[in-house]
């Protein structure tokens, strides 16, 4: 299904159940989506999920990807920078949460410009001890403005890659389709 006028966005309020310790908090997330995107996410609405943010950080025609630690079960796969909202971030704008995550993972010196949400990812969350089996991630387009990247212990490596290099990396499930769609639009 497509909008008759694709330039018009449809406002969607999607209810996300977030687990905070032993408490389930319901949070509404507003995002402009085209009607075709609404259908893709409708079947997942109201499942217990973690919520987080991810960044597609662009530098020219390349994007930044991160490699998860090799000691993880099935580790060494690639993903985007970002992560789950912290327990005290229920009322914090998603862009602020993303900036916190970027600085934690890539160092305080990195400078980026955070743009708009470009995609939504719902993917399995297979972390030991997790109380939910799904994570809902708002993915933002960002522009690298400078600064040295200093990796935290949360990641093993990073790489700047172009569209034709996607096939050379094994991504955590859910990321490759987002990156393919992103590169098709730019």
Distance between CA atoms of 103 and 120, rounded to whole angstroms?
Answer: 22
CB 176 within 8 A of CB 142: no
Of the candidates 58, 30, 54, the residue with the CA atom closest to the CA atom of residue 122:
54
What is the per-residue pLDDT for 118? 94
List, for the chain, all residue ranges whose pLDDT scores fall below the cut of 70: 1-48, 126, 130-133
User: What's this model's pTM, rounded to 2 decimal places?
Assistant: 0.74
Domain ranges of the chain: 52-185
Domain at 52-185, CATH from 3.90.79.10, 1.10.10.10, 3.40.50.620, 3.40.50.300? 3.90.79.10
CB 8 within 8 A of CB 33: no
What is the per-residue pLDDT for 24? 46
What is the per-residue pLDDT for 130? 65
What is the per-residue pLDDT for 41? 47
What is the per-residue pLDDT for 123? 77
What is the per-residue pLDDT for 160? 98
CB 142 within 8 A of CB 113: yes
């Amino acid at each position: 299904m497509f909008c008759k006028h694709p330039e018009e966005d449809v406002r969607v309020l999607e209810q996300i159940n977030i687990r905070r310790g032993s408490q389930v908090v319901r949070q509404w997330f507003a995002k402009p989506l085209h009607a075709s995107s609404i259908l893709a996410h409708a079947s997942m609405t109201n499942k217990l999920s973690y919520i987080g943010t991810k960044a597609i950080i662009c530098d020219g025609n390349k994007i930044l990807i991160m490699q998860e630690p090799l000691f993880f079960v099935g580790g060494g796969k690639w993903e985007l920078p970002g992560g789950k909202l912290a327990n005290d971030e229920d009322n914090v704008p998603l862009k602020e949460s993303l900036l916190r995550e970027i600085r934690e993972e890539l160092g305080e010196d990195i400078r980026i410009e955070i743009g708009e949400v470009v995609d939504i990812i719902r993917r399995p969350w297979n972390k030991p001890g997790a109380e939910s089996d799904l994570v809902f991630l708002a993915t933002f387009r960002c522009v690298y403005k400078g600064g040295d990247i200093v990796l935290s212990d949360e990641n093993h490596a990073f790489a700047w890659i172009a569209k034709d290099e996607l096939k050379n990396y094994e991504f955590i499930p859910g990321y490759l389709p987002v990156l393919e769609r992103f590169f098709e639009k730019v």
